Amino acid sequence: MMPGSCRVALLNVGRPQPILGPNGDRFTSSIGRRPVDRPVRLLFEGLEGDACAYGGHHGEYMRVNAFCAAHYAAAEAFAGKELPRPGFGENLTLEGLTEADVRVGDVLRADGGAVMQVTQPREPCANVPRFLGVPDMMKWMIAEPTTGFYLRVVEPGMIAPGDTLRFEAHGPAEWTITRLNRALYQEGEDFETIERLLDVPELSPKWKESLRQHTERRRARLARQRLSEGETL
C-alpha cells in the first residue's frame, strides 16, 4: 500500500563553500547543507538560499534533493560511526517512506503550498564519501540501493521543517525509485525494461540519457564477450 503522506524531518539549505573532509579531502560543494528552523520559499529555481556548486549540474528536473531518514541507521552501521544529519547533501530529509514507496511522477504538496513532482533517482556523486570520510559510501548507496531522489517544482510556495507532504497524485505503479535503481545498476542486460523506461514521460531527460549510456556500454560489453567466446571455440 502506497503512503498517503510523509514528513519533512529536516529542511536543509546551503551554498557552495570550501570543505575539508574527515580524510583530508579539500573540495568546494553545497553538500554541507544545514537544517533551518523556519519556513523557506520554494521557487521554480529551487529553495531560497540554496545553490549548487557546479553550473548546470542540477536542471529543472533536479531542483530538490530528497533522502529517506530511515536509511541513516544502516548508513551509520556501514560507516562504523555517527554521521551528520543531513549527511548526504539532501534538501529534504523525509520520514515515513523509502524509495520503494516513491514512484516517478508522484506529486507531493507541502503544508505551505509548495508542490513538487518526483522525476528520477539520485545518482550518488563522489562528494558524498569525501564529505563523510567513508570511501565506499557511494558503492553502498548503489548496492542497497539507498540513493534518494530528485523532484521538480510544479507550484512555488512555502515549505517548512515538520511539514506533511501529501501525495496529490501517483506515478505509474511499476516505476518506483527502487525499481529504477535496480534497472540501472543491478539488472545487467535487461534491455526490454530499459526501453520501456525510456518511454516514461515523467522520467527526467538526464536520467534517460544515463540509461542510454549504460545500455550502450552493456551492449558493447556483450559484443566483446561474444567475440571473445567465438575466438575461443
Distance CA 149, CA 171 (A): 14
pLDDT at position 183, please?
A: 87
pLDDT at 133: 96
Exposure string (b/e) for 103-124, b if CB count within 10 Å is 16 or more? bbbbbbbbbeebbbbbbbbbbb
pLDDT value of residue 194:
86
Quick one: which H or E segment has residue 23? none
Asked if the model's pLDDT at residue 233 lies above 80, the reply is: no
The predicted pLDDT at position 2 comes to 66
Residue 232 has pLDDT above 60, yes or no: no
Distances 10 to 40, 94, 141, 176 between C-alpha atoms, Å: 12, 7, 20, 23
Confidence at 1, pLDDT banded by 50, 70, 90: low
Q: What is the helix (H) or strand (E) element at residue 180, kind and residue range?
A: helix 177-185
Give the pTM.
0.92
pLDDT at position 56: 52
Which amino acid, 167? F
Between helix 205-232 and helix 177-185 the angle, nearest 10°, is: 30
- What domains sit in the chain, N to C, each tagged with a CATH number? 5-171 (2.40.33.20)
d(C-alpha 172, C-alpha 199), whole Å: 12
For residue 33, give the C-alpha cell. Answer: 547543507
pLDDT band at 231 (very low <50, low <70, confident <90, very high): low
- Residue 180: what pLDDT? 93
| pLDDT mean over 45-60 | 82
Q: CA–CA separation, 30 vs 46, rounded Å? A: 13
Residue 53, pLDDT > 80, answer no
Strand positions, DSSP E, the chain: 5-13, 17-20, 26-29, 34-35, 40-43, 46-47, 64-68, 92-95, 107-109, 115-121, 149-155, 157-159, 164-169
The C-alpha torsion from 164 through 145 and 136 to 31, rounded to 10°, is -30
Distance, in Å, from the CA atom of 189 to the CA atom of 168, rounded to the nearest integer, reads 35
**Residue 128 grid coordinates:** 558524498
User: Measured between alpha carbons, how far is 95 from 87 in angstroms, rounded to an integer?
Assistant: 15
Condensed to tens digits (0 to 9), the pLDDT of residues 170-204 reads: 999 999 999 999 988 876 667 888 889 999 999 99
Q: Please tell me which residue, 227 or 206, carries the higher pLDDT value.
A: 206
User: What is the DSSP secondary-structure string of 80-99?
Assistant: TS---SS-S--SEEEES--G
